[in-house]
């Protein structure tokens, strides 16, 4: 089990510990901001980030990935909190976890196979843009000190790794946060700090059952929110896992990750936290800072709680400019700059899918809508491409009584019209042979077109023979075809 796997826990102790500390510092302002978005007390988001990070370290399927309270999930909670209150949100979080666990057992992670590389690239680029846009409020209507601190932070982040010996031993984002905090304490400049974001909790989360009626009415209230939260959370987690897989050149267990997300959300609901999922920004910070194993995720959660309970007053004076610099670094590192260059060389369909995914996500601030738009567009382009691979060859027998049509390619709803139009039904023949040994019938639309072609020939007095059906196509035709059944002409209209 992963819990006792040395490789997944203790193969990179120093790097995981330091990266976990960096991530914990970056989690605080975001968790507070997401709590404000959802309309709940800041401690709800902070407790959620602690709980989810610690639990997913044991139950998840992607070592080194960070999960916590997220903006995508927070946006889905606003109406529920406004109309029914915090207790119903906690109940919805519990149900979200249950639904995600069920999804894991149903192997719904396999649906990720239908998300094309262009959609993933668009998702990554859109998220990088959103991460950068989220920093803009901290950079507008502020004094020059904020800009100076942010630029200094970026300088530290990008130049510190070039220092001999120590440059590679300590994550530069951590150095950025520490140095800028010291500068702020010494200078006393008037800039925004973490403490200005909201009050930090000073006690451990307590275990309790949400105070809601256990009735069908309650289920009807929370189920729509829970189902949406479960879907969005799993989608963002699966895509983030794929991105971390690519960054680290390692694999992950997507099915286990789904179950792990569900377990984390389920227990978080009992500890007073809001729902969450994987975070691409913090996951990239973790990987770029040297985090590799489950220990980094665990440290991020535990150190977050340590910061809140023990170092709360110190954490409160961390300048937001230092964290803005870290997040700008994340957005720059997350964006696939190569994808801009590839627009000219990639097939235009792939570029369109990528751009549409980016535009929809940035426009709606909804990752699920953008990915859905990209997947649908990818499917349409794929169907159009496969449709064009359909081929027909024909020859007439020496005596002029038999014509053979040789069909090649995929016969399905998009190519069914071309299949029907491939034949000359008015040609005077005794017999027609339809050779489909190089074709495959995929759906009932394909079966229906075969019925239509055969019946058209029969109406003209021409006998039809179908040969070369592969096993799968033959099984589908035997089950659904009507051309060999009584009353086929009458049935065809409703097929």
- What the chain holds in terms of domains, given with CATH numbers, is 2-343 (no CATH), 389-492 (3.30.750.24)
Q: What is the pLDDT of residue 387?
A: 65
Structure tokens of 388? 């064009």
Looking at residue 488, its pLDDT comes to: 56
Asked whether residue 494 carries a pLDDT value surpassing 50, the answer given is: no
The pLDDT of residue 141 is above 50 = yes
Average pLDDT for the chain: 84
pLDDT in tens, 262-272: 999 999 999 88
Contact 288, 333 (CB under 8 A): yes
Return the structure tokens found at 188: 């006393």
Model confidence over 332-354: pLDDT tens digits? 877 888 888 888 888 888 888 88
Whether pTM exceeds 0.75 = no
pLDDT at 100 over 90: yes
Residue 234: closest CA among 30, 386, 363, 76 = 76
Does the pLDDT of residue 121 top 50, yes or no?
yes
Neighbours of 165 (CB within 10 A): 6
pLDDT category at 491 given cuts 50, 70, 90 is: low
- Please state the rounded mean pLDDT for residues 144-166: 89
pLDDT of residue 485 exceeding 50, the answer is: yes
- Token pair, residue 160, equals 């510190």
State yes or no: pLDDT of 310 exceeds 90.
Answer: no
Q: What is the pLDDT of residue 487?
A: 62
Tens of pLDDT, residue by residue over 384-402, are 766 667 788 889 888 888 9
Query: What whole-number distance in Å separates Cα of residue 198 and Cα of residue 204?
Result: 17
pLDDT at 264: 94
Give residue-wise pLDDT tens across range 412-451: 777 777 888 888 888 888 899 999 888 888 888 888 888 8
The H or E element containing residue 479 is: helix 471-480
């Amino acid at each position: 089990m992963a819990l006792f796997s040395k490789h997944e826990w203790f193969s990179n102790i120093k790097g995981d510990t330091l990266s976990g500390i960096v991530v914990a510092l970056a989690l605080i302002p975001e968790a507070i901001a997401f709590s404000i978005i959802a309309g709940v007390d800041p401690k709800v988001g902070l407790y959620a980030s602690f709980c989810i990070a610690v639990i997913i370290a044991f139950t998840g399927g992607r070592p080194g990935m960070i999960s916590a309270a997220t903006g995508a999930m927070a946006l889905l909670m606003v109406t529920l909190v406004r109309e029914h209150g915090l207790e119903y949100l906690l109940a919805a979080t519990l149900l979200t976890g249950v639904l995600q666990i069920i999804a894991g057992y149903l192997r719904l992670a396999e649906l990720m196979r239908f998300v094309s590389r262009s959609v993933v690239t668009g998702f990554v680029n859109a998220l990088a843009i959103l991460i950068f846009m989220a920093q803009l409020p901290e950079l507008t209507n502020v004094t020059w000190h904020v800009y100076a601190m942010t630029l200094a932070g970026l300088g530290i982040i990008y130049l510190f790794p070039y220092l001999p010996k120590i440059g590679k031993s300590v994550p530069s984002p951590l150095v950025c946060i520490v140095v800028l905090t010291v500068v702020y304490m010494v200078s006393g400049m008037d800039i925004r700090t973490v403490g200005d974001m909201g009050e930090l909790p000073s006690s451990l989360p307590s275990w309790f059952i949400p105070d809601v009626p256990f009735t069908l009415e309650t289920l009807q209230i929370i189920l729509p929110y829970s189902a949406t939260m479960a879907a969005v959370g799993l989608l963002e987690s699966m895509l983030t896992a794929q991105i971390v897989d690519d960054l680290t050149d390692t694999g992950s267990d997507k099915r286990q990750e789904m179950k792990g997300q569900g377990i984390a959300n389920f227990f978080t609901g009992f500890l007073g936290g809001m729902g969450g999922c994987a975070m691409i920004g913090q996951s990239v910070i973790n990987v770029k800072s040297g985090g590799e194993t489950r220990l980094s995720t665990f440290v991020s959660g535990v150190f977050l709680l340590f910061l809140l309970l023990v170092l709360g007053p110190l954490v409160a004076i961390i300048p937001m400019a230092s964290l803005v610099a870290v997040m700008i670094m994340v957005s720059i590192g997350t964006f696939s700059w190569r994808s801009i260059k590839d627009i000219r060389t990639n097939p235009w369909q792939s570029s369109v899918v990528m751009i549409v995914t980016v535009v929809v996500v940035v426009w709606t601030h909804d990752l699920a809508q953008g990915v859905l738009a990209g997947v649908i567009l990818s499917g349409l382009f794929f169907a159009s491409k496969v449709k064009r691979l359909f081929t027909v060859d024909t020859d007439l027998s020496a005596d002029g009584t038999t014509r053979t049509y040789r069909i090649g390619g995929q016969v399905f709803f998009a190519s069914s019209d071309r299949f029907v139009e491939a034949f000359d039904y008015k040609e005077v023949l005794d017999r027609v042979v339809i050779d489909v040994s190089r074709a495959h019938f995929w759906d009932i639309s394909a079966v229906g077109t075969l019925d239509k072609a055969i019946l058209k020939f029969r109406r003209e007095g021409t006998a039809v023979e179908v040969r070369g059906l592969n096993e799968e196509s033959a099984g589908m035709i035997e089950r659904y075809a009507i051309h060999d059944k009584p009353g086929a002409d009458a049935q065809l209209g409703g097929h």
